[in-house]
Chain A
Amino acid sequence: MPNQAMSDRLAGVGASPGRAAGPVYRKAEPPTFDSLTPQQRELDAPVTAEQAIAALCAVSDDLAHRSASARNRGRGVAADVLRTQSMIAADSTLANDVTARIAAGRDGSEAIAEAIERYKELLTTHGGYLAERAADLDDIRHRALAYALELPQPGVPDPGRPFILVADDLFPSDTALLDPTSVIALVTRRGGPTSHTAILAKSLGIPAVVGCAGALDLADGAVVSVDGSTGQVRRVSAKQAARIQDHARLARERLAATTGPGRTRDGHPVPLLLNIGSAADVQGVDQLEGVGLFRTEFLYLGRSDTPSATDQEQAYHEVFAAVGPRKVVLRTLDAGADKPLPFLSMPDEANPALGVRGIRVTRNRPELLTSQLEAVAAAAKARDADVWVMAPMVTTRAEAEAFATQVHAAGLDMAGVMIEVPAAALQAHRILEVVDFLSIGTNDLSQYTLAADRTNAELADLLDHWQPALLQLIGACAAAGTAAGKPVGVCGEAASDPVLALVLVGLGITTLSMSPPSVAAVRASLARHTLDQCRHLADLALAARDAAEARATVAASTAAES
């Protein structure tokens, strides 16, 4: 039955991450006292005190039974929730309240509704977790009324094929016994990020969207996609739905297959790090070994003057607090004619990508770097954070040495440089004599190596990260790092390609830094290959005549292995 009120997109709150798509089916809503017809009330009334208490006991028994089933299925979280709910239904305080109301002349079904409403209000006043638990009391009321009035128990539909469960709200008794192979996602009109729907969806590993205002406008059988990260619910075709399900299944398999620190199949550690621009980007860092690229430009954007020492320190403080005891590699201000900042009042340049940018800005404005390093050092000291600092656009050993001296003088132990300029890559062994680590920015390194403007879409083939010349330079840096016993990481896009990541590790790269969505695939890819296999793939890539051949040869080899 088409529903005209349904728009193509609904928005809610993402409560359990992941994507799924399929037909929706709505939960059978419970019979509430208010929803009964006058005849029903007439026929079934009065409910005596004995019947009311018996109904509550029946609900308690039923919930205890569901709790035991959930525990047998390994659903400990759900089992705990159901057990508490079962105890509430059997609570003598509640039973006494119901009995007293009936003695005062109320009908049994009204007495149950009123007594439960009273405790619900009590819990709601506490807010947060307890207010969310108030929904459990509604469930007890619905179930007790259904028992007392001898009506069917509310419940989850069984359409006989995988479906997305839609409801006004879901209760533990609904969700605890859900089979995640038949229910592929949850969408509720009510509920917040700590509701049962959210908690249980996470424990089942299925996506959920809560607080979705239009959820009940979805007709049974309508095909939608659910994004549990963004909270988007969207109408899709059956074909699109099938594709989303395929993607989701692959993603789940990869995720399920590997967790924990980045490492190859034979246990060679390859720390996986995050690229961030501010504290707001620090997501899921507890699954990672730290931050590999903290861009600090956000502090300077849209300003007509230099940010104060306090402002800078505060911003670094927030990031270090979010990252906790893990390592943070901070890149000092990367600006110039190609990334103009008003307060720098840089003159226009004919060829800005090759002009005064990155560390070169300090030629005329040394105080920018001095004040930034002071603020970083103060924040690092306050948080006891593991902070590494690196400079962008370094070209020569002399620039690297001057920078490292300044970093160490500020009281920071780890000074490194970005490798983005081919000259620096070729001289990596010399630069490593004066710095503690290198981090390769593959986006700029390919732009400069291939002499192709990275913003020009027509030249995308030249900017391919599989270009053998680029891989050769990365290999030279990694070899220099191995010889010096110092870390050499990659923090550009190349690190987020799960196949290219293997080549990078084979070349001798020690860490990979990327944006959060790429991590799971890279981690899983590493876990499937030994370090020797990675080295073999690196040899294949370096021996290729061009980028396409490198990509194809390596892909064929990885496919043959697995």
Chain B
Amino acid sequence: MISREVTIGSRIGLHGRPAAAVVDLAAGLPVPVHITMNGRTADARSIISVLALGARGGDVVTVHAEGDTAEGALDTVVALLARDLDAEPGDV
């Protein structure tokens, strides 16, 4: 298993749209990805677990993945978490 730390880029944290974006991404990955913060681990494909982390903007989380394609999966999830998803306009 490999893991990497990342600082949450969205100012409000992993709520609403940013959380949904993470879950959408994780659901399409070939391997399961987990996010850990303060000793609590969330399946990145479960919105309710991701929300329950209560991660806010600037919090540092650890992302884990296992398997052949773990490296690539980690890269994409870490990149998304680091982005300020609040600042990006929705398709309104």
Contact = CB atoms under 8 A, between A and B. Distances in A.
A80 B20 contact: yes
Given A71-B91, A77-B92, A87-B20, A129 B15 contact: yes
B19 interface: yes
B17 A84 contact: yes
A353 interface: no
Nearest to B17: A80
Contacts of B45: 92
A93 interface: yes
Interface in A70-88: 71, 74-77, 79-81, 83-84, 87-88
Given A87-B23, A126-B54, A81 B16 contact: yes
Contact of B48 (A75, A119, A129): A119
Interface string B30-47: 000000000000010111
B44 to A, nearest CB: 11
A93 B49 contact: yes
B51 interface: yes
Contacts of A129: 12-13, 15-16
Interface residues of B, number: 20
Interface in A122-137: 122-123, 125-126, 129-130, 133
A84 B54 contact: no
Contacts of A79: 90, 92
A71 to B, nearest CB: 7
A94 interface: yes
Contact-residue bracket for chain A: 20 to 34
A87 B50 CA distance: 12
Interface in B36-79: 43, 45-49, 51-52, 54
Interface string A150-161: 000000000000
B48 A84 contact: no
B47 A88 contact: yes
B15 A133 contact: yes
A91 interface: yes
Contacts of B13: 129
A93 B16 contact: no
B59 to A, nearest CB: 12
Contacts of B49: 91, 93
B15 A130 contact: yes
Nearest to B52: A122
Nearest to B40: A122
Nearest to A90: B47
A126 B19 CA distance: 15
A71 B91 CA distance: 8
A80 B46 contact: no
B15 A76 contact: no
B15 to A, nearest CB: 5
Interface string A386-400: 000000000000000
Contact of A84 (B16, B90, B92): B16
Interface string A493-521: 00000000000000000000000000000
A76 B19 contact: no
Given A129-B15, A130-B15, A84 B52 contact: no
Contact of B20 (A74, A84, A122): A84
A93 B54 CA distance: 17
Nearest to A125: B54
B74 to A, nearest CB: 22
Interface of B: 12-13, 15-17, 19-20, 23, 43, 45-49, 51-52, 54, 90-92
Interface of A: 71, 74-77, 79-81, 83-84, 87-88, 91-94, 119, 122-123, 125-126, 129-130, 133
7 contacts: A76-B92, A80-B90, A84-B19, A84-B47, A126-B52, A133-B16, A133-B51
Given A123-B54, A129-B13, A129-B16, 6 more contacts: A76-B92, A80-B17, A84-B47, A91-B48, A130-B51, A133-B16
